[in-house]
Chains A and B, each alone.
Chain A
Amino acid sequence: MTTNYQRRELAGRGIPVPGNDIDTDRIIPARFLKAVTFEGMGEHAFEDARKQNPEHPFNSPAYQGASVLVVGQNFGCGSSREHAPQALMRWGIRAIVGGSFGEIFFGNCVMLGIPCLVASQADLEWLQKAISLNPQIPVAVDVEKQEVHFSDRVIKATVPDGPRNQLVAGTWDSTAVLLEAGAAIEATAAKLPYVKGF
């Protein structure tokens, strides 16, 4: 296998989904969680929101094939369901730029190698508008430098040190890294009174 896990830079067309507090129930309604695999989850991303609003960006032909999602504040709040980032990833999303993120959603995205970058409200509003006017221009996300490039403009977009290091180094799929601790895992457990017995 020569899979490249490093997530230094990503580029693709953008898709703006404005609005604050878009929760994971909205991204993927609970009825689609009745499945033992994540396959086919991409078809149901924002399903109810798309049905209720024909103008939803995920319905728009202009944004088909987009891979950089630009959102508002507190995106992905609510349920821990990994089905939400799985649905977005399987729809084609590779990076998300927003004002803030639900923490469990953010962590789930890291586990899937999807960087979530935090930008200012003013920059987000500008970027969403710029993408809607020119959806064919690619958005370039530089995780390492913590920048987003669109046309000739560069905006600051941060990722906290820990997840950024994981994404840049390609160690976001953490099982192997955690297993490297070896016997230190059992040694830590053995010191806990509730494990060794009171």
Chain B
Amino acid sequence: MARTLLDKVWEAHTVRTLPSGQTQLLIGLHLIHEVTTPQAFQMLKELKLKVRMPERTFGTLDHIIPTTDQTRPYADPMAEDMAAHMYRNMKDFNLTLLDMATGQQGIVHVIGPELGLTQPGMTIACGDSHTSTHGAVGAIAFGIGTTQVRDVLATQCLSMAKPKLRQVRVEGQLPRGVYAKDVILAIIGKLGVKGGVGYAYEYAGDTVERMTMEERLTLCNMSIEGGARFGYVNPDATTVDYLRGRPHVPAGAAFERAATWWRSVATEPGAKFDDVARLDAAALQPVVTWGINPGMSVGVGERIPAPDAQPEDERSTFREALAHMGFEAGQPIKGAKIDVAFVGSCTNGRLSDLRIAAEVAKKGKVARGVRALIVPGSQQVAKAAEAEGLHEIFQAAGFQWRKAGCSMCLGMNDDKLQGREMSASSSNRNFIGRQGSPTGRTLLMSPAMVAAAAIAGAVTDVREMLK
């Protein structure tokens, strides 16, 4: 019987079936950061346990670090305390920390693929829900909590149930000005924010096959926003080309052997799925969220839907969303005024994202009264962008050019919304309070749309600027 990537990777990493009926699953790569790990290391110390396979864990600093001056000690004493704990724990347990001094620091989901730590056929866990990002190379990669981080450190394993598998087929040519971000927002809009609960997503179809690796990373990143704990794309020539020459990837003849194995884990023709969903890419327009979860979105040319047009049990959430956002049902999303523009995050903080945003930034200047931040996803992304002069394009247009980190995606450093500010954001969550202000408001969209909104001072259709 034809097997899926999920079948093959799951089986290869199964240590045993536990008495509970769940799988004891070996974790091939464990990524950690400063926010969700100090309690795990403390538990490990209390249990007098060592890290089982220290060479399979890599750490970085991303969530709490400032994006202005990154020299320590950090101005925020709580952030400094978390960083100090990270340094001490990594040293005490003999683990590799990719900090600023290495030149390889960045958002954990940006640096994993960038350094070739993330490879096809692996199981990958990290104390962060956007670990689903790494599925883009054909890995089974998912977020875990802190007590599970302890288990991976102590045992290199997790107790897991294998999910069902839904193939999400995206077909057709993406129109100009429509990107991977719009595809995943459209998928979430169509299947719902809980549509993926109990499922993993296999993204397939000619649109996905044509996507670059960076586009696939954006696609898989927001699997979790659709309720799926992980999503993946089958490894192909794009995957192999992307990985060639990266620091943690084998070289020479070993690379060719690796590539052969990577390709072998892909889903076989004729494999069966528990469900199949389809999306017509050619029919898409730029997508903008208007509400308080990432499923509440419309095309940029559309109007905000009315609660009464929703299923009965969704209406109260829709009314709450309209009240929080200060929108009226039936209002066009185009023209909604913004105060802040943010390009960055593990969703859209890679070089290709910055190139697209810079292309738009050339068309004008940031509107008066709008605070616009460009936050590269990693030190290497920043370096590559600066080598191309992108930072100068941004600065000339009035955007602030920052250092790498999670920044305003979740507002754990100084990069926060103030009061009811409205943000156009290339990040992944528009939850109430997400960007650091309890009353702040977030509109999710592609980096191109964020840059366009920064210039217009309001939500606008980037396709008109790219003409």
Contacts and interface: CB of A to CB of B under 8 A. Distances in A.
Interface of A: 18-21, 23, 25-26, 29-31, 33-38, 48-49, 51-52, 72-74, 77-82, 85, 100-104, 107-108, 111-112, 121, 160-163, 165-166, 169, 171, 173-175, 177-179, 181, 184-185, 188-189, 191-195, 197-198
Interface in B15-34: 15-16, 18-22, 24, 26, 28
Question: What bracket does the count of chain B residues touching chain A fall in?
Answer: 35 or more
Contacts of A175: 47, 49, 150-151, 154-155
B46 to A, nearest CB: 11
Interface in B186-202: 193-194, 197-198
A33 B18 contact: no
Contacts of B193: 21, 74, 77
Nearest to A101: B197
B348 to A, nearest CB: 18
A42 B76 CA distance: 23
A129 to B, nearest CB: 14
Contact of A25 (B15, B35, B161, B429): B429
B194 to A, nearest CB: 4
Contacts of A169: 19-20
B143 A21 contact: no
B313 A20 contact: yes
Given A19-B317, A23-B293, A195-B28, A29 B194 contact: no
A165 B127 CA distance: 25
Contact of A104 (B20, B78, B229, B316): B229
13 contacts: A19-B316, A19-B317, A34-B82, A74-B227, A79-B410, A82-B145, A104-B229, A185-B156, A188-B15, A193-B257, A193-B258, A194-B122, A198-B258
Given A37-B38, A80-B36, A194-B121, A111 B147 contact: yes
Contacts of A174: 151, 158-159
A106 B21 CA distance: 17
A25 B21 contact: no
A33 B35 contact: yes
Given A178-B151, A188-B13, A194-B258, A80 B145 contact: yes
A178 B24 contact: yes
A198 B254 CA distance: 5
Interface of B: 12-16, 18-22, 24, 26, 28, 35-36, 38-39, 42, 47, 49, 52-53, 56, 63-64, 76, 78-79, 81-82, 85, 119, 121-122, 127-129, 131, 142-148, 150-151, 154-159, 161, 193-194, 197-198, 224-225, 227, 229, 250, 254-255, 257-258, 261, 292-293, 313-314, 316-317, 320, 410-412, 429, 431-434, 436, 438-439
B433 A189 contact: no
Given A162-B22, A165-B19, A171-B20, A111 B145 contact: yes
B229 A26 contact: no
A189 to B, nearest CB: 6
A33 B197 CA distance: 25
Given A74-B197, A184-B16, A198-B257, 15 more contacts: A20-B317, A29-B438, A31-B412, A34-B78, A35-B78, A36-B81, A52-B438, A74-B193, A80-B128, A80-B129, A163-B161, A165-B20, A175-B47, A177-B159, A197-B254
Contacts of A193: 121, 257-258, 261
Contact of A82 (B22, B36, B156, B157): B36
Contact of A102 (B63, B155, B227): B227
Contact of A181 (B16, B21, B142): B16
B53 A189 contact: yes
Nearest to A79: B129
Contacts of B436: 30-31
B38 A36 contact: yes
A37 B39 contact: yes
B24 to A, nearest CB: 6
B199 to A, nearest CB: 9
A104 B26 contact: no
A101 B144 CA distance: 15
Most buried by A among B47, B81, B129: B129
Nearest to A103: B229
A175 B147 CA distance: 9
A177 B18 contact: yes
Contacts of B35: 33-34
